[in-house]
Structure formats: C-alpha cells, structure tokens
Amino acid sequence: MNPTTSRLDVIDALRGFAIVSIMLLHNIEHFDFYFSPTGLPAWLQALDKVIWDSMFFLFGGKSYAIFALLFGMTFYIQHHNRELKGEDFRARFAWRLVLLLGFGLVNSMFYHGDILSIYAVLGLALIPVARLRGGIVLPIAIVLLLQPYAWLEFIQALPNPDEKLADPASWVYFGRANEYMKNGSATQVWWGNLTNGKIGVIRWSWENGRIFQIPALFMLGMLAGRKGMFQISPENKRRWRHILAVAAVAFVPLYLMRTYPESWGLGEALRRPLLVIITSWSNLAFMTVLVSSFALLFYSWRWLEIFSPLGRMSLTSYVVQSIIGTTIYYGFGLGMYQYTGASFALLIGITLALLQRQFSVWWLRRHKQGPLETLWHKATWAGSPR
C-alpha cells in the first residue's frame, strides 16, 4: 500500500474515532464551561461522577494527542507525494498552516479551547526536520517529550521545595470566561473567546506541557509515516503488538504516580512541575495504547470504518461541533449548562456524533471532501499548476 492510499483506511477511521471522543469530552465539559447543576438526585450525581472520571481516563489528554500524531502522518504523506514529483512541499505547507490558523481563529470565536490555531503555529516545527533522517528527528522528539521547561522549574525549586506557589495564571482567564459564557451575548462570547479565552488556553497549554508535547507528536507521526506503520501488513501487526505491550506496562506506574502525587513526599514547588511531566508521559502512554489497540482491531474488525466518514471530514466536523455545542450549552443559546450533568451531556454528545456521521456520509456521497476540507485544499494549491 503506497502513502497515497494508506490514509484511506485505518488513518481515516482513527481520526474519526478521535473526533467522536473529542465531541463526547467537550459535551460533558459544556465546551469548557464547567458547571455542576444543583438539585440532582444522589444516584444521578454518582453516575455523573463515574461518567466524568471514565471519560477523562479514556480520552482526556489523549484524543488531541491522536490528532497531533495523525497531523504529522498527514504531513509526511503530502510531503512524500510531492517529493516523488520532484517538488518541495515545505513552502506550500507553511501557507497551508497560515490557512489553518485562519480556520482556528474562526473556531476560537465559538470555542476558546480550539486546537487548530495551536497546531497551525507549532506545525512550523515540521518544516526544518522534514528532510532530516530519523536518527536525528527521533532524539529531538524525545527531548521535547521529556518536558525540558518543567525540569528546569523542578531544578529551580530544589532550594525551596516547600515554597507556596500561586495559582496557575490561566485560571484568571478561565474565571473571566465563565462570566461571559454564562451571561454574555453571542458577540460578547465570541470577542471574549478570541481575546481573554485564547490567552488563557495558550497559557494553560504552556503550563501543562502541551507546547512541547504537540510538536514531538507531529514528528513521531511523520516518522511513523516513513516507516509505513499504518499500512496493513503482518510486520506492522507484530509491531503494534510490541508497542501495545510496552505502552501498557509503562502506563500503569505512571498513572499511579499521577493519581497519588501526595505519596511522593515532595513539597508543592517540586510536585507541580513533576506532576506536569508525569501527566504528560501517562497520557502519551495511554494514547499509544489506544492507537495500537485501534490499529490491531482494525485488522479484523473492519466495522471500525464506521468512523471513517467523520475522519475524512475532520476539519468540518471539529468546527461544526464547536458552533453547535456552544450554542447548546452557553447562556446566549439554550443555556443547557445549568441542567445537564455528565450523564445527560454525554447523551447529547452521542446524539450529535451520530448526526455528524450521517451528515458526513450524506455529504461524501456527493463530494470528494468535506466543505471546509475542500476550501482548505483549494486555497492551499491556489496559484499552483499542480
């Protein structure tokens, strides 16, 4: 299977799976408007907690990472295909990222947690490494995954390990966001998300190590593309089994450390940066468990292709879910944040995911790509004879 066709199977299905998991998470979070309705019966509160904890265990910090991995994989496919024609894709890719930033800023109006704009900026990291051999790219990715800034904070805290730390700076921005999400008009929400909300999300991404993890995942996705990891073959089946075993073994101690940081016996100034490091590694390990399990199941469970239509329209699906979701939950819309705990919000998310899939199926019967994908594609190659 060549790089051009490899994306049509497991990659599209995996991307669609990530879209669905993101949809479900965003719904139980009320699209970053955290609010627990009052007056719920005890049994429903207990069920809400189980659902909340289960969904974040499965997908929190993992779904976006799957997207990042596949972003790097897609870059490899596009770069390789142009390389076969004797062309250098890197300048065109930079323009493509500018366009993605535009999509991301529009999406950020509706949902300040938008990841597209962050991917657009951090995606520039792929340009200087695109033609480097894997023996150079892999160490760069590993250094980024090690969370160097968090280790610097850890070292700086060694002289005063019990120093009381201020709350993360992002909390101030999110506190302001809750006010306009609750009481603001649509235009107030959109402006607030683009200004206050976007700054808060960038700060939060920095505080939690994602600014380092995301470009590392891009590079790993590119390397996976070079190795043909998502092509269907007996060799890849053995590879994914080995990767699954290693990731599962690594995840258990990392998760326990992350869950019980008080057992470390360290002061707050040391514990906070170390928790960022351990959490990022734990999420990486479980994301790898999800990806390798999905790849292995895809060999025999081709019904997983039900996610493929959403994967082929991932940009459209992601933006549309932000527009619809915030209209459902925020105060300027239906205000459902005040009535829905995790249980009912999950049901809403499942319903929306099913509707989005059916729309994707309907659209793709009539068009080669989703509407935003078509716009992105045409703008990417504007002025090129191709």
Establish if 385 belongs to a structural domain: no
* Mean pLDDT (whole number) for 308-334: 96
Query: In the prediction, which pLDDT does 385 show?
Result: 66
Q: Are 360 and 314 in contact (CB under 8 A)?
A: no
Range of the domain at 148: 3-380
* Mean pLDDT (whole number) for 133-148: 98
3-state secondary structure of 328: helix
pLDDT of 8 higher than 70: no
Rounded Cα distance between 253 and 230, Å, is: 28
Rounded Cα distance between 105 and 198, Å, is: 9
Q: Which residue has the tokens 């520039």?
A: 124
Residue 383 — pLDDT band, cuts 50, 70, 90? confident
Q: What tokens were used for 359?
A: 């729309």
Rounded Cα distance between 136 and 141, Å, is: 9
Q: Are 34 and 178 in contact (CB under 8 A)?
A: yes
Residue 137 — pLDDT band, cuts 50, 70, 90? very high
pLDDT of 372 higher than 90: yes
Q: Percentage of residues in the chain with pLDDT exceeding 70?
A: 97
Establish if 386 belongs to a structural domain: no
Q: How do residues 10-62 score in pLDDT, each as one tens digit? A: 999 999 999 999 999 999 999 999 999 988 999 999 999 999 999 999 999 99
Establish if 165 belongs to a structural domain: yes
Report the run of H or E that residue 302 belongs to, with start and end: none
Positions of E strands within the chain: none
Rounded Cα distance between 224 and 228, Å, is: 6
* Mean pLDDT (whole number) for 180-187: 96
Rg of the chain, C-alpha, whole Å: 21
How distant, in Å, are the alpha carbons of 111, 208, 242 from that of 172?
17, 16, 44
Establish if 29 belongs to a structural domain: yes
Tell how far CA 78 is from the center of its chain: 21
Establish if 96 belongs to a structural domain: yes
Q: Percentage of residues in the chain with pLDDT exceeding 90?
A: 92
pLDDT of 65 higher than 90: yes
CA neighbor of 7 nearest in space, from 93, 89, 78: 78
Establish if 355 belongs to a structural domain: yes
Rounded Cα distance between 348 and 28, Å, is: 9
Q: Are 251 and 285 in contact (CB under 8 A)?
A: yes
What's the angle, vertex CA 302, arms to CA 299 and CA 308, rounded to 5?
115
Question: Which residues have C-beta within 8 Å of that of residue 264, sequence separation ≥ 6?
Answer: 257, 271, 274
Establish if 265 belongs to a structural domain: yes
Q: How do residues 110-132 score in pLDDT, each as one tens digit? A: 999 999 999 999 999 999 999 99
Q: How many other CB atoms sit within 10 Å of the CB of residue 145?
A: 20
Establish if 157 belongs to a structural domain: yes
Tell how far CA 342 is from the center of its chain: 20
Query: In the prediction, which pLDDT does 302 show?
Result: 79
- Please give the tally of structural domains in the chain: 1
Q: Which residue has the tokens 């897609």?
A: 74
pLDDT of 325 higher than 90: yes
Question: Which residues have C-beta within 8 Å of that of residue 2, sequence separation ≥ 6?
Answer: none
CA neighbor of 123 nearest in space, from 23, 214, 12: 214
pLDDT of 185 higher than 50: yes
pLDDT of 3 higher than 60: no
